[in-house]
Amino acid sequence: MRKVLNAGFTVTLIILFAIAVPAQTKKPKKKVVTTATASATAPEAPTQTPVEVPVKRNERPTDTNADNTKLTSRASAYTPVYFYEFDRPGFTYPRILIEHDEVGKGKMSFLKDGYSELLTDPIELSDGTMANIRQTLTAMNFLDSTENYQYSRDFSNMGNTTFTVKKDGRERTVKYNWTDNKNAKFIMDEYRRIGNEYTWKFEMNVARENQPLQTPGLVDALDGYLQRSEITDPPHLLPFLGPLSNDERLPLMARNHVTKLIKQIEKTKK
């Protein structure tokens, strides 16, 4: 009988202990902590977003080239006095316009065969070239003369030359395609030589940037100009030729040829 009572008492204690343990583990403390954490972190979200707002990503950059552009514009300003025009359809350059002031500063516009618009580059003639032009015009007494420089026969197939001088409120224009007047012929030839120099520079600059394999042929063309005295003042080319001789974009053949031409020009210059 005592054993039965003891056994029952033991079973009762086990049942009570089993009920008590789950009751302690089901306390809602974790829910309170979770709720408190959520309520504490929620207000922090709006305080973090203003940190990124002050970053100015849409601000327009300042035009740092504006002043340089104005300076370049003023430096290139000139008042043209001399005007030359060559016109001959079918040539590589069927139209060439040159204008410049008394010191040789100006521009050249030219139409290349196959193009529909004139291309324009600034020019700056050498002191020697300008001295020759002024001396020749003085010998011609150009502004006061009424002489017709056109040869008796028409050679318009060679191209027509129009030359104008506007100076001291006076202006005179002449047009001819061939002449037996040596001074008028010099003016025609001299501006053709100027055109050769600057159209060649244009072609070389284009090839240098886009088609370097064409540069050997262009250097050959310059060599031909120099041999035929078709460049107005060869030493004037030296500042342009110098960088070409060291430009590794150009084939070695072109660079070596340029170096040879530089030495030839420097030799004749002395």
Q: What is the pLDDT of residue 214?
A: 97
- How far is residue 156 CA from its own chain's centroid? 37
The whole-number pLDDT of residue 245 equals 96
Predicted confidence at residue 270, as pLDDT, reads 66
Kindly tell me the burial class for residue 207, based on how many C-beta atoms sit within 10 Å of its own C-beta (0-12, 13-18, 19 or more).
buried
The 95-100 sheet, strands edge to edge: 119-124, 105-111, 95-100, 82-87, 160-167, 170-176
Closest CA to 147 of 155, 156, 139: 139
Distances (CA, A) of 13 to 8, 9, 16, 20, 26: 9, 6, 5, 10, 21
Residues of the chain with pLDDT under 70: 1-76, 270
Provide the pLDDT for residue 158.
92
What is the reported pLDDT for 63? 39
How much is the pLDDT for 70?
A: 41
In this predicted structure, what is the pLDDT of residue 268?
87
